Amino acid sequence: MVAFVDHQPFFGGRIMRLKLHLGPLVGGIALGSLLLVLGAIVARGFAENGFRLASQFAWRYGCLTFFLALAGGPACRIAARQFPRMSIPEGLGRKLVWGFCASYGIYLLSVFIPNVIHPSAGATLMVLFGGGVALVMAVTAAPLARLGRPPLIPDKIRRVLLGVSAIYFWLCYSLMALARIYGPHRPDDYYGISLCLMIGGLLLRYADRWLLPKQDVAAA
């Protein structure tokens, strides 16, 4: 939601500031993934074809939400430097990360449920490992601290774990796109778009880092 906030300064006059309100962002992202999965199952039936389409939709939706988690914070910070009256939403980055982790969890469920009766080692391993990495990413997206006590995970370790999990998902989406583009598969424009999104998100993060003032870079 976008709102204009009217501020009354001490010396008269009015200043209109642009402010973004997130609302229930994490729940909205998860609900979008769930609706896609359920819609695919209803369209194709509660069978292998339905779950295959559902997992395909959830994977593609997860790619989009990962791009938003990767680029949302940097894009807002870059825009705020160009437009000082724009207010950056509080907690945008971590909420986008949590939204992605929720959507990825729904994707894993769409993969795992058809294999419950006759589980395959590959699918089980992928679900367990992918779920573990998503859990690490969700836990390290924000500091875990008890009241009046230091964080449970030291900040440097938390940042390393978050970075490693982000690199894992970036490689997953990028390598999958490359394999589909250059492999013996039916042409699909989606994979070219997803690869461009991954590269674009990475470039946005580098641009955000490059545009930081020197004192902020030293602090980071």
pLDDT tens per residue, range 55-113: 999 999 999 999 999 999 889 888 888 887 777 777 888 899 999 999 999 999 998 88
Give me the mean pLDDT over the 17-43 stretch: 81
Residue 198 falls within a domain, yes or no?
Answer: yes
Residue 116 falls within a domain, yes or no?
Answer: yes
Strands 15-20 and 86-87, sheet pairing: parallel
Chain Cα centroid distance, residue 173? 12
Residue 20 falls within a domain, yes or no?
Answer: no
Distance CA 7, CA 14 (A): 6
Tell me if 69 sits within 8 A of 91, measured CB to CB.
Answer: no
Residue 186 falls within a domain, yes or no?
Answer: yes
Task: Tell me if the pTM is above 0.75.
Answer: yes
Asked if the model's pLDDT at residue 21 lies above 50, the reply is no
| pLDDT of res. 19 | 44
Residue 17 falls within a domain, yes or no?
Answer: no
| pLDDT of res. 56 | 93
Identify the top-confidence range among 115-124, 127-136, 209-218.
127-136
CB-neighbour burial class of residue 121 (10 A; exposed 0-12, middle 13-18, buried 19+):
exposed
| pLDDT of res. 16 | 37
Residue 6 falls within a domain, yes or no?
Answer: no
Tell me if 96 sits within 8 A of 69, measured CB to CB.
Answer: yes
- Domains: count for the chain: 1
Residue 3 falls within a domain, yes or no?
Answer: no
Tell me which residue range forms the domain holding 206: 26-212
Residue 44 falls within a domain, yes or no?
Answer: yes
